[in-house]
Structure 1
Amino acid sequence: MNKIQIYRALRNHVELSEKRSAMYESNSIAKVLTYVGIMALAVYIMFFSVLFALIANDIRQFTPCQFLFGLTPIVLVVDYLARLVAQRTPAQLVKPYLLLPLRKYDCVDSFIMSSIVTPNNLLWLFLTVPYSIMSIVFSAGIFPALGFVVAFQLLIICNSLFYMLTRTLFNKKIILFVIPLIVYGLMFAPWYLKNFDALCYFYSNLGQWATDGTPLFYLLAFVALALFFLLNRRVQYANIISETMKEKDLKLKNISSFSFFDRFSQTGEYMKLELKSMLRNRNTRSMFIYSIIFIVALSLMNSFTDIYADDDFSTKFWAVYPFTLSSINLIKIMGPEGNFIECLLVRKENIRSLLEAKYYYYSALSIMPLVLMLPNVFTEKYSFLMLLSLMFFTAGPMFCVVMQLAVINKVSVPLNTKLTRKNGMETNYVQIIVEMVALFMPIVIISVLMVFVGETWTYVIMLLVGVLFMALHKYWIGNIYRRMMKRKYVNLQGFMTSR
């Protein structure tokens, strides 16, 4: 078999694996909603494309191609951050092929090629194609416009390979998260050294090269593509082999007994389990650390910088997210426990105590952004009522919404392996929908309520609703538990087959 045949066969196996996923049926409606959301995002990007085209047609110091390429660093950072939020590093189907007479890099090459031709990389065409039609075709001609679109797309593909490389590295060691920070920081160096105009002038040369069809530009772009491909190839292969071939670590670790939680009976035992799982297992620990980093970073930026604009909406927008991020770890609720779900089902009410423990654990975590953003209260950027209402609203109705996923989640999350698993990528579109609801619902509710009842009563209502949900948490957690028990054997089969 040649490379193309191997690639097609492996891609077919991945597609079959996704169809056999335990979440395939549950994903049907959510997948449609996800596509609707992507279409809405495409329309949003086209709006910016038209806006940039109108600006480019009015200015004289840059050609239209130079103008958009002058904003390249900003686009690449936005692209990277979007991938960080919405795109996971998919697990690879490697184990079934280890004993087959395939070349050692065949599976990895197939995976990297799939990430290059993914439709996600085509989303930015909704920016470049309308822009080139409105601003470049009539001023420079069709071939310069085509060169502009191709050149910009090459930069996006390079950025996607850079994302895959760095995401793999800092999944292995979280300190390597500094790599993209340094790289993108250096890209903005002309802004730091001079001003924003210097940044635009520096990168506008790329746009001129793309318009002129300069061979040097495309040579450098393809060299960068080849370099990122080879780096990904080596790094992916090394990490996959380390995950699949390493011996189990039997070294004993001394972990605190957390005797403080003994007073909470069985629920306390599950709070210990949550903490010990975070301390002992690499994946759960990484998820926790990432959420803490983002919560702390956003909270401190809110407290000590003017990151938001002066308008009221932006102020509320940036205040909400340190709280909503505390609920993101609950998106995969019951996923880690899927690795030992049989042990949790041997006694009645065990799962209910586990759900209560998770609720208390993450409710306590939501206190962190409140404390970190208290300086905003002292400087009168935010009111204490606002922060308190956001905390209670997050710990009340928002956690109630996210924890509903415990009923339908039936794919186990590996505790330590990141890049390899038995069934490949498990895309749960229901989780994606709920994640988007968790991120955007609070700001929508705030905006609507403020129109009708004003700012103070908005936060009073959110505070009262949050307190009500927290006071009644045993009732809605009990409802989740009863629905889980009705689906017990369906979920159990999904967890067991997805390990």
Structure 2
Amino acid sequence: MMILNELRKHGRLAAKRHPMYEKNKVAKILGYVMGAFWAGYLIFFGTTFAFGFSDMVPNREPYHVMNAVVLIFILALDFLLRVPLQKTPTQEVKPYLLLPVKRIRVIDFLLIRSGLSLFNLFWLFLFVPFSFITITKFFGISGVITYLIGILLLIIANNYWYLLCRTLINERIWWLLLPIAFYGGIGCLLFIPEDSPLFYFFMDLGDGYIQGNIFYFLGTILVIMLLWLINRKIMSGLIYAELAKVDDTQIQHVSEYKFFERYGEVGEYMRLELKMLLRNRRCKGALRNISIVIVAFSAALSFSSIYDGNLMTSFICVYNFAVFGMIILSQIMSFEGNYIDGLMSRKESIMSLLKAKYYTYSIGEIIPFILMIPAIIMNKLTLLGAFAWFFYTIGFIYFCFFQLAVYNKQTVPLNEKVTSRQNNSAIQMLVNFGAFGVPLILYSLLNALWGETITYTILLVIGIGFTLTSPLWIKNVYHRFMKRRYENMEGFRDSRQ
């Protein structure tokens, strides 16, 4: 217990010594405000579900519908939300491995910290009002409390399931089929056959939580312990393999991207950006995961009715266009922290680098736009809407992400994954949250006031405006970065591993 407490103190000291500490304090306050806003949304949905399920399925109680059908989809959504917001627990493993501390103790601490994360409590904003409205009239307050404890245990189990899947996917992309088969298989088996035993299993599971049946709680705790042990075993092995630095040195193919030569220095930096994305382990893994999520969401939007409706269509569009920036551009200049001294040795090289990044990632948005074409053909999305979200992303959203180039000053390793530090600062998470949440809020408000066509027109005008003025605000970012260059370079050097 003493070593766990000592590791916790080290984590707090690491946060205070973080190069972005001063910016993180302001970002955390704003993050709490945004979190409170989304908590209000979940409370609204929980109340709506409580009364809506009663009207939709009059022969069942609302909590039966929630437990038997909706719960698995909430867990699947929880899994998806963790992809951009939660990393695998890999804080400062290396230094402790050089000390007389058992590696497994460090991993245990990281897993404990993940299980106790406040993120696991967020869904209770939905379940608390829902359970108070639907359960108290039959089982009283005690039924509500035991039900919420059961739901919390399920979310913690989902957390460790996510960590396991994310760790395996980072090593081999084919492991992505595991969560797809798990959630997709359960979702299908709930309705096929018509009188599905899985349907009644989840209904009985929820009833067991409400009634305080100890066997259901013990079963859930057993699942958590099993996932804990599997995570522990796999992470320990991967950490050892990564520290051993056993790399394949055989080069099979080298792409030079010579067509960029015609674009001068900016073209050279575009070539450098592509090589960084496609050759380095960390960037390549992120790019691969992003591509799979975009393809899956685009297919779901185009060929199923799961995301029918204006709000859900906008959710998919914003996610598909903005997710690349959320994962890569939120860490702008942090990858370059590995070789920032070389970049600073040439006059105006940072300006050319920023332009190259903007052009590269703007061209990359053509891919999700193409994947949206089936949805346009199927009348799930208008052509105006697709163009509006495209230009809004490369205009306003990219404008927000590029501001981080001024403030990011922590180096992100290019090839290490399991043993690397936690690199997401609070200001990065806040910008990510805003890039995803603000467009949806803006769309909802404008659509309620003036309708879909005018809303998309306004978004398109905003996006085109920021796109056309990109040379101006990129130059502004460059000048602000140069004023802070020595402070940033010191942070990059201090945070290299």
TM-score (norm 2): 0.90
Map of 1:40 onto structure 2:
37
Answering whether residue 468 of structure 2 is matched by residue 471 of structure 1, we say yes
275-284 or 388-397, which moves further after superposition? 388-397
Q: How big is the shift at 1:192? A: 4.0
463-472 or 105-114, which moves further after superposition? 463-472
Q: How big is the shift at 1:51? A: 3.3
Partner secondary structure for residue 88 of structure 1: coil
Question: Is the contact between residue 397 and residue 469 of structure 1 (CA under 8 Å) also seen in structure 2?
Answer: yes
What one-letter code is carried by the residue in structure 2 that aligns with 1:322? N
- Work out which of the residue numbers 320, 337, 346 in structure 2 matches 1:322: 320
What one-letter code is carried by the residue in structure 1 that aligns with 2:481? M
Question: Is the contact between residue 54 and residue 60 of structure 2 (CA under 8 Å) also seen in structure 1?
Answer: no
Map of 2:76 onto structure 1:
77
Map of 1:482 onto structure 2:
479
In 2, Cα distance between the equivalents of 1:455 and 1:365? 26
In 1, Cα distance between the equivalents of 2:159 and 2:124? 15
Q: 1:285–1:222: structure 2 CA closer, same or farther, 3 Å change rule? A: same
What one-letter code is carried by the residue in structure 2 that aligns with 1:324? A
Partner secondary structure for residue 306 of structure 1: coil
Matches within 5 A, 1:225-240: 225-240=224-239
Question: Is the contact between residue 89 and residue 111 of structure 2 (CA under 8 Å) also seen in structure 1?
Answer: no
Matches within 5 A, 1:305-316: 305-310=304-309, 312-316=310-314
Q: How big is the shift at 1:146? A: 3.1
Question: Is the contact between residue 89 and residue 114 of structure 2 (CA under 8 Å) also seen in structure 1?
Answer: no
In 2, Cα distance between the equivalents of 1:47 and 1:398? 27
In 1, Cα distance between the equivalents of 2:492 and 2:341? 10
In 2, Cα distance between the equivalents of 1:53 and 1:475? 51
Deviation per CA, 1:75-105: give whole Å up to 9, x if none. 2112212222321223222221223222331
In 2, Cα distance between the equivalents of 1:274 and 1:301? 31
What one-letter code is carried by the residue in structure 1 that aligns with 2:439? P
Question: Is the contact between residue 21 and residue 426 of structure 1 (CA under 8 Å) also seen in structure 2?
Answer: no
Answering whether residue 389 of structure 2 is matched by residue 390 of structure 1, we say yes
In 2, Cα distance between the equivalents of 1:196 and 1:391? 44
Map of 1:496 onto structure 2:
493
In 2, Cα distance between the equivalents of 1:429 and 1:253? 40
In 2, Cα distance between the equivalents of 1:339 and 1:418? 15
Q: 1:65–1:239: structure 2 CA closer, same or farther, 3 Å change rule? A: same
- Work out which of the residue numbers 20, 24, 28 in structure 1 matches 2:21: 24
Deviation per CA, 1:184-242: give whole Å up to 9, x if none. 12322433413598764331111232234334323322221221111011011111111
Map of 2:269 onto structure 1:
270
In 2, Cα distance between the equivalents of 1:74 and 1:459? 29
Matches within 5 A, 1:180-191: 180-191=179-190
Matches within 5 A, 1:71-220: 71-195=70-194, 200-220=199-219
What one-letter code is carried by the residue in structure 2 that aligns with 1:207? G
In 1, Cα distance between the equivalents of 2:165 and 2:403? 33
Deviation per CA, 1:268-292: give whole Å up to 9, x if none. 1111111111222011111222222
Question: Is the contact between residue 206 and residue 217 of structure 1 (CA under 8 Å) also seen in structure 2?
Answer: yes
Map of 1:5 onto structure 2:
2
Q: 1:279–1:436: structure 2 CA closer, same or farther, 3 Å change rule? A: same
Question: Is the contact between residue 298 and residue 375 of structure 2 (CA under 8 Å) also seen in structure 1?
Answer: no
Q: 1:377–1:207: structure 2 CA closer, same or farther, 3 Å change rule? A: closer
Question: Is the contact between residue 125 and residue 149 of structure 1 (CA under 8 Å) also seen in structure 2?
Answer: yes
Question: Is the contact between residue 191 and residue 199 of structure 2 (CA under 8 Å) also seen in structure 1?
Answer: no
In 2, Cα distance between the equivalents of 1:407 and 1:237? 37
Question: Is the contact between residue 301 and residue 313 of structure 2 (CA under 8 Å) also seen in structure 1?
Answer: no
Map of 1:399 onto structure 2:
398
- Work out which of the residue numbers 37, 47, 51 in structure 1 matches 2:48: 51
In 2, Cα distance between the equivalents of 1:333 and 1:326? 12
Partner secondary structure for residue 422 of structure 2: coil
Q: How big is the shift at 1:459? A: 4.2
Question: Is the contact between residue 190 and residue 202 of structure 1 (CA under 8 Å) also seen in structure 2?
Answer: no
TM-score (norm 1): 0.90
In 1, Cα distance between the equivalents of 2:320 and 2:408? 25
Answering whether residue 27 of structure 2 is matched by residue 14 of structure 1, we say no
In 1, Cα distance between the equivalents of 2:101 and 2:316? 50
Q: 1:220–1:273: structure 2 CA closer, same or farther, 3 Å change rule? A: same
Answering whether residue 433 of structure 2 is matched by residue 425 of structure 1, we say no
What one-letter code is carried by the residue in structure 1 that aligns with 2:287? F
Deviation per CA, 1:389-438: give whole Å up to 9, x if none. 332332223222211111111111111111213xx433411111211222
424-433 or 246-255, which moves further after superposition? 246-255
Q: 1:487–1:254: structure 2 CA closer, same or farther, 3 Å change rule? A: same
Partner secondary structure for residue 305 of structure 2: coil
For structure 1, list consecutive stretches of 5 or more residues without a partner in the other structure: none
Partner secondary structure for residue 193 of structure 1: coil
Question: Is the contact between residue 136 and residue 145 of structure 1 (CA under 8 Å) also seen in structure 2?
Answer: yes
% identical aligned pairs = 38
Partner secondary structure for residue 102 of structure 1: coil
In 2, Cα distance between the equivalents of 1:189 and 1:89? 29
Q: 1:295–1:67: structure 2 CA closer, same or farther, 3 Å change rule? A: closer
Q: 1:150–1:268: structure 2 CA closer, same or farther, 3 Å change rule? A: same
Q: 1:488–1:189: structure 2 CA closer, same or farther, 3 Å change rule? A: same
Q: How big is the shift at 1:166? A: 1.0
Deviation per CA, 1:10-40: give whole Å up to 9, x if none. 1111111111111111111110111122222
Deviation per CA, 1:360-407: give whole Å up to 9, x if none. 111111112222223444454444333233323322232222111111
Deviation per CA, 1:334-358: give whole Å up to 9, x if none. 1111111111000111011111111
In 1, Cα distance between the equivalents of 2:188 and 2:180? 12
Matches within 5 A, 1:301-450: 301-310=300-309, 312-328=310-326, 329-421=328-420, 424-449=421-446
Q: 1:196–1:80: structure 2 CA closer, same or farther, 3 Å change rule? A: farther
Question: Is the contact between residue 261 and residue 269 of structure 1 (CA under 8 Å) also seen in structure 2?
Answer: yes
What one-letter code is carried by the residue in structure 1 that aligns with 2:352? S
RMSD: 2.7
In 2, Cα distance between the equivalents of 1:443 and 1:296? 21
State the aligned residue count.
493
